[in-house]
Amino acid sequence: MALELIHKGKVRDLYRVRTPRDKLLLMVASDRVSAFDVVMKEEIRDKGKILTAMSEFWFQYLGDGFPSHLVKVAPTSVELGEELPDSFKGRAMLVKEAEMLPIECIVRGYLAGSALKEYQGSQTVHGQKLPVGLTGGMKFPEPLFTPSTKAESGHDVNISFDEAANIVGVEAATKVRDMSLEIYKIGASRAEQAGVVLADTKFEFGYIDGEIAICDEVLTPDSSRMWEGSELLAGGEPTAYDKQPLRDWLESTGWNKLPPPPSLPEVIRKSLRNRYIAVYERISGREFLG
């Protein structure tokens, strides 16, 4: 077999491609789902295909203005050195190998999640002082760049821009901050046209041939908070097209957020799949064919 498994992540697997073209990897998005840094026992049908389709759309939409690791979605046997296994079809991307930066680049456009919890305790987000009186779901005047560490195990830790610069260097930190904010604004504008709010999102970057490029997934419901725009405008808690309903259900069980996780009911699994498909189709304008 020409494909060698070199890394098994929470939801993605990486294979080295042994062809005459060097430094190419096959990234395969599984149907596994994680929450609170724990992988659930049950899978979400078609999740890997949906995330791959979503990332493919965004890579194409962003165009050449943002260097990326993507070579091709659904590579051929000529490119791989063998036929793509049936189980990989619809969920595989041929990508350039990158030297990944050990930080995660988070952009927040709205007050939600851990940012809301921090604000409620100290009126800050990632240590940045914000006006008094903000409530959950409120839009920031300008999106905030709030990086974190990238933990191999356990939880990521929120860090300041200066701390990120100490880890990757000032030039790289500045570059990924500016790219993250720009991509977020482009993505939020496209989502808004579809009636969807892109509340926040996470990016990962790496060096490819000395140039910083965006890697992994882009603006998917797995890496972002996405809300129903009409409901946000009307007030109250909007429908979420991301993993938040899964997190909410898990917290309702009293689970201590340590392995093993509780078993996911079929209704939760179906709901998550339907939400992911709905937001993909709305934002991309494409039909999910499964």
Q: Return the domain boundaries, the chain.
A: 3-97, 100-258
| Percent of the chain's residues with pLDDT above 70 | 96
Bridge partners for 215 per DSSP: 204
Interatomic CA distance for residues 270 and 44, integer angstroms: 7
Q: What is the mean pLDDT of residues 24-41?
A: 96
Q: How distant, in Å, are the alpha carbons of 27, 168, 225, 245, 285 from that of 57? A: 16, 29, 18, 24, 10
DSSP-based helix, strand, coil % in the chain, nearest 5:
35, 30, 35
Task: Please answer whether residues 163 and 122 qualify as being in contact, where contact means their C-beta atoms are separated by less than 8 angstroms.
Answer: no
**The domain 100-258: what is its CATH number?**
3.30.470.20
Topology classification of domain 3-97: Phosphorylase Kinase; domain 1 (3.30.200)
Residue type, 185: K
Total-model pTM:
0.94
Given a cut of 90, is residue 215 above it in pLDDT?
A: yes
Residues 55-111: pLDDT tens digits?
A: 999 999 999 899 999 999 988 887 887 889 999 999 999 999 999 999 999 999 999
Choose the weakest-confidence range: 78-82, 237-241, 274-278. 78-82
> What is the token pair recorded at 227?
């809300």
| Cα 225 to Cα 53, 72, 137, 239, 240, distances in angstroms | 18, 26, 11, 11, 7
Of 82-86, 151-155, 158-162, minimum mean pLDDT range: 151-155
Of 232, 235, 257, the closest CA to residue 246 belongs to 257
CA 38 to mean position of chain CA atoms: 16
